[in-house]
A = this chain, B = another copy of it.
Amino acid sequence: MNSQDVILGLLHRESLSGYEIKQKLEMPLSFFFDASFGTIYPTLSKMEALGYIVRESVMQEGRPNKNMYSLTAEGRAQFERYLQSPVEKDSYRSDFLVRMFFGEYSDEDTLADWIRDEVRKAEAATTQLDRMKSEWAKDMPASKTLCLDIGIELNESKAKTLREALKRLTGSADM
């Protein structure tokens, strides 16, 4: 699974420009997939060369012109090939947990600060995902709601585990 596969999925329902694709990649998709402009624009060029998408220049007033991309039959077939390929392993990288792993080289106050920050981040993510769920859940297929549920549960259990660890570390329940 790479950026091309996700872009094919996003273009399945509607035509989009590179800038609009970047916007679609915000929550909730950014919770488990992200791509920068440095990936999106070269990927779109490559996909056009491969015949998966076609470009149409759209003149705009009051803002720069944009290139709208639409899926071709070949692009639809390529998305099907992706769906039939084996499911890849999740990848997770955490600077925070690396620092905890090497915790013996830091002092307790620093560790406590890092944990408190991480709790705040997890709580903020939970709030955002909860709001999204209550706003959009009615119009979503069950599979999409599942993405939000997983995001909510993962962040909640992370925050819970971190608060317990902080209590053990500092000997109190302060934040």
Of A38-46, A47-55, A60-68, A139-147, the one contacting chain B is: A139-147
Q: Does A132 contact B (CB under 8 A)?
A: no
The secondary-structure label for the interface of chain A is helix
Do residues A90 and B93 form an inter-chain contact, with CB atoms below 8 A?
A: yes
Chain B residue with the shortest CB-CB distance to A12: B105
From the candidates B31, B106, B153, B165, name the one contacting A157 in the complex (CB within 8 A).
B153
**A160 CA / B156 CA spacing, docked (Å):** 13
Q: Does A130 contact B (CB under 8 A)?
A: no
User: What is the size, in residues, of chain A's interface with B at 8 Å between Cβ atoms?
Assistant: 59
Do residues A33 and B94 form an inter-chain contact, with CB atoms below 8 A?
A: yes
A99 and B111 contact, Cβ closer than 8 Å, known pairs A32-B92, A154-B154: no
List of B residues within 8 angstroms of A111 by Cβ? 143
Do residues B90 and A92 form an inter-chain contact, with CB atoms below 8 A?
A: yes
Do residues B101 and A90 form an inter-chain contact, with CB atoms below 8 A?
A: no
Do residues B93 and A33 form an inter-chain contact, with CB atoms below 8 A?
A: yes
From the candidates B79, B101, B143, name the one contacting A147 in the complex (CB within 8 A).
B101
CB contacts under 8 Å to B, within A64-122, are: 79, 83, 87-106, 110-111, 114, 117-118, 121
Q: Most chain-B CB neighbours within 10 Å: which of A98, A101, A110?
A: A101
Do residues B144 and A153 form an inter-chain contact, with CB atoms below 8 A?
A: no
Do residues A100 and B144 form an inter-chain contact, with CB atoms below 8 A?
A: yes
Known pairs A100-B144, A100-B146, A154-B154. 16 more at Cβ < 8 A?
A: A32-B92, A34-B91, A34-B93, A87-B99, A90-B93, A91-B92, A91-B94, A100-B147, A101-B144, A103-B146, A111-B143, A146-B161, A149-B161, A150-B158, A154-B157, A157-B157
